[in-house]
Amino acid sequence: MKSTLRKAFLEDGAVVIKGLLSPDQLALCQAAFDWAVENHGPNAFRMFDGTVQQSHVDNANPRAKEHLENLVAKLPFGNLLAELWNSNHVWYFAEEIFLKAGGKGSRTLWHQDTSYLPWAGMHWANAWISFESVPKENALEVIRGSHLGPRYDGTTFLDPNDPTQPLHGGGLWPRLPDIEAERKLKPDAYEVLSWPTEPGDVLLIHPGTLHGGAPVDEAFPDRHTFVFRFFGDDATFNPLPQPSASGYPRQGFLFTEELSNLEPGAPFRHPTFRQLV
């Protein structure tokens, strides 16, 4: 692996790997994605209004767990991430699914995944796989190096007039900056990274990066994206604030029983997570 790739991921928090997946591997992912949309799990948020406009987000579908673990074992992520992180082990956490269709899908608010999941350490990566050719203006955006900075409170995603409405509150974590408002006043206020991608490309981001965007519009009406999440040796349990104004448990909303006995700072481990390396 080129040292520049490792350096970019560790310092920037995101990198695109061109052509990582073969056409056959991409077809397997596409089939799994289509099945998962039709057979959604208990964490899914869906809007199918009977027209071409659709929205679907799902996380860690227990119905898909075994199949996706077997699929991920056939993909090149284990060895890739072991080398990228210099980690002796790599585990698969779970999937996330994004479907936006019909040309109406506003940009996702800026956030860090670590505001919603109890993750700390450098050995984390979300692998974004889109099945369309995604133009830069419709791509996910990340703030360069933000995974090395503060862990912000999350946004509730509920107040259209306040994109930083605190998820947990209590002042334990700093409030999210209003990045879009600041960019309107000063376009270069943040160092924003984004890349156009083609099918087979994979965007790797550290979940501690501030990221958002990825809208669809009339020019780019549909996007289907599979996200696989992984962790390595330097991954620890860092619980969410308690009490949380939104009622979030300390271990987040995924695998709550499996993570309930972990102590702060403990290695992020449990037999439920499939080891790839």
> Which stretch of 40-49, 151-160, 225-234 has the lowest confidence by average pLDDT?
40-49
Q: Which domain holds residue 129?
A: 3-153+167-172+191-275
Would the pLDDT of 2 be above 80? no
Q: How many structural domains compose the chain?
A: 1
Q: In whole numbers, what is the pLDDT of the chain averaged over residues?
A: 94
φ and ψ at residue 45, rounded to 5 degrees: -115, 120
Q: Is residue 245 in a domain?
A: yes
Would the pLDDT of 53 be above 70? no
DSSP secondary structure of 128-187? EEESS-B-GGGSEEEETTGGGS--PPPB-S--TT-TT-BSS-TTSSPPPP-HHHHHHH-T
Q: Per residue in 72-99, pLDDT tens?
A: 999 999 999 999 999 999 999 999 999 9
Q: Per residue in 98-153, pLDDT tens?
A: 999 888 767 899 999 999 999 999 999 999 999 999 999 999 999 999 999 999 99
Q: Is residue 181 in a domain?
A: no
Q: Is residue 183 in a domain?
A: no
> Is the whole-model pTM more than 0.85?
yes
38, exposed or middle or buried, with CB in 10 Å at 0-12, 13-18, 19+? exposed
For residue 48, the model assigns a pLDDT of 63
Q: Is residue 180 in a domain?
A: no
Q: Is residue 158 in a domain?
A: no
Q: Is residue 257 in a domain?
A: yes
What's the CATH number where 62 sits?
2.60.120.620
Would the pLDDT of 51 be above 90? no
